[in-house]
Amino acid sequence: MTYTSSNGASASNKSLFIQSQISALALEAGLVRHPLVSATDQVVILREIDLVGNATVGEVMEALDGHTDPVGAIMSLIKAGVIEAALKSGILDHNAILTRAGSPFEDDPDPAAPGAAMAAPAPRSSLDASGSPVVWPKTHDGGASETIEHQAVVSVSSGDGDDPLPEGLALLPLSPLRPRVHVGRGEARRSFASLRDLQRAGVYVLLSDTSAYVGVGSVVGRRVASGAQPIEDVDTIITITDENDGLDDADAAALERLLHMRVSAAKEVRLVNGTPGGAVVTPQRYDELNVMAGLACDALARDGHLFVNMSRRLALAGPRAERGQLAPLRPFDNPPEGEVFELSFGRNLIALAAKRDEDDWLLLAGSDIRLDTVASANASASYLRAAWLSSGLLELSDTGEHYVLTRDIAFRSGSGAMHFVLGSKGQGRGGWQPIDSEFDPDAGDQGSLAA
């Protein structure tokens, strides 16, 4: 095998290519003959590359899950002259870019789209070239086209200008996240992989007549195109990204749970996947993601895809909590159903919960909640703090040292409720302890929850 570099590869801003001439000895009936490369391995590697015209070594290794030597298989295809590797760092690592031999790399000014994939169009605004609004079809019952025939972009102008502001005036910043919403038919799912707009973190919805799947991807176009989701008869695909590529993987995971909550609350379709775990997120970032989700959901409602059976206000604002979390209003002096338990922790902090069944616990309004979560806590403990602060289900205490729950909230277990309260996997001072059922409230002061 020979290793050659492209012209100018020695320049610091160029990529080193590993390539080889196609060897007749290495190929037989179109297949590489090597102990590390089965026919299936070769097809899997080339399929991964063909999704968007290139793939990293790490992505191909994931696609070859279970292979004893995936890098060896990759090197065998390079040796046979079937694929090439671009080494930006000068060494082969998981970030090296793999392409088919002779295919242009993304350093080229205008690389061709891979076969059977749609070339990425330039981003459009919600107006076409003539200044007229883009008209979307109300149904998706056309022919089985392999391209996305309509593309909607939702954006919000920041209003930034170059003119200096007069003294006494200030320009308030808007949320930094601005959604871009793409919609296409189910038959065109592979076309999503070729859109440059979707080579970034984002969320997606796969819709059939009666069901929906809400997912997330660090490269959302590729994730949509993979077709591995457990939903059949997909007729509509929706992707949501930030127009400035401002989402990292944690943002996208939090946005996935936000979108899942909204689709679930609308009750228009049956969700085939359960509630995602979300991500560790600050209250400020959650609010920014929620605004982004609201704008995207409003666009989907206006075009008739989702959220059509609710008010526009609710489509924008979303529900206060996930389905089944928010218990009915209960007067504070009205005892809850079930056995009541107490959890003591921190500096004289107390939470109360009612056990209605083994899988039905109610964390009671007025309970104290620790401010921060520890690193070992699951992401949900942080996510729910941010979500419930945003919706008013949590408030900062008068002392500013902890939160206070403002409504009864349902949990599936006592340990889940305790994990949220403590923000850790600990048990406070002895975990949930039953309150004395023989205590007579008329005999004296019962005490009150810490403020």
Q: What pLDDT was estimated at residue 443?
A: 46
DSSP string, 193-240: GG-GGGSS-EEEEEE-SSEEEEEEETTHHHHHHH--SS--S--EEEEE
Poorest-confidence range of 82-96, 226-240, 294-308, 373-387?
A: 82-96
Evaluated on CA atoms 383, 384, 389, 395, the torsion sign reads: negative
Measured CA to CA, the distance from residue 403 to residue 451 in angstroms comes to 9
Joined together, the tokens standing for residue 437 give 């059922």
The whole-number average pLDDT for the span 31-42 is 90
Over residues 342-365, the pLDDT tens digits come to: 999 988 999 999 999 999 999 999
Element (H or E) spanning 56, and its range?
Answer: strand 55-56
Query: 370, 423 in Cβ contact below 8 A?
Result: yes
N-terminal to C-terminal alpha carbon distance within the chain: 74
The whole-number average pLDDT for the span 254-264 is 97
Instruction: State the number of CA atoms in the 13 A half-sphere of 229 facing the CB.
Output: 29
The whole-number average pLDDT for the span 441-446 is 45
Per the model's pLDDT, the better-predicted residue between 186 and 446 turns out to be: 186
Mean pLDDT, the chain, as a whole number? 81
pLDDT band at 30 (very low <50, low <70, confident <90, very high): confident
Q: Which residue has the tokens 């080889």?
A: 20
Residue 252: closest CA among 298, 229, 221: 221
Measured CA to CA, the distance from residue 271 to residue 43 in angstroms comes to 33
CA distances from residue 343 to 80, 108, 351, 427, 447 in whole angstroms, order as listed: 66, 62, 5, 8, 15
Query: 180, 215 in Cβ contact below 8 A?
Result: no
Poorest-confidence range of 51-55, 252-256, 380-384?
A: 51-55
Poorest-confidence range of 102-111, 298-307, 364-373, 419-428?
A: 102-111
In sequence order, the β-bridge partners of residue 97 are 56, 86
Measured CA to CA, the distance from residue 232 to residue 269 in angstroms comes to 14
Q: Which residue has the tokens 């939160």?
A: 403
Percent of residues, the chain, with pLDDT higher than 70 = 76
Listed ranges 188-197, 213-222, 326-335; the one with the highest mean pLDDT: 213-222
The whole-number average pLDDT for the span 216-241 is 94
The whole-number average pLDDT for the span 223-231 is 90
In sequence order, the β-bridge partners of residue 216 are 203
pLDDT band at 18 (very low <50, low <70, confident <90, very high): low
Per the model's pLDDT, the better-predicted residue between 101 and 288 turns out to be: 288
Measured CA to CA, the distance from residue 149 to residue 127 in angstroms comes to 15
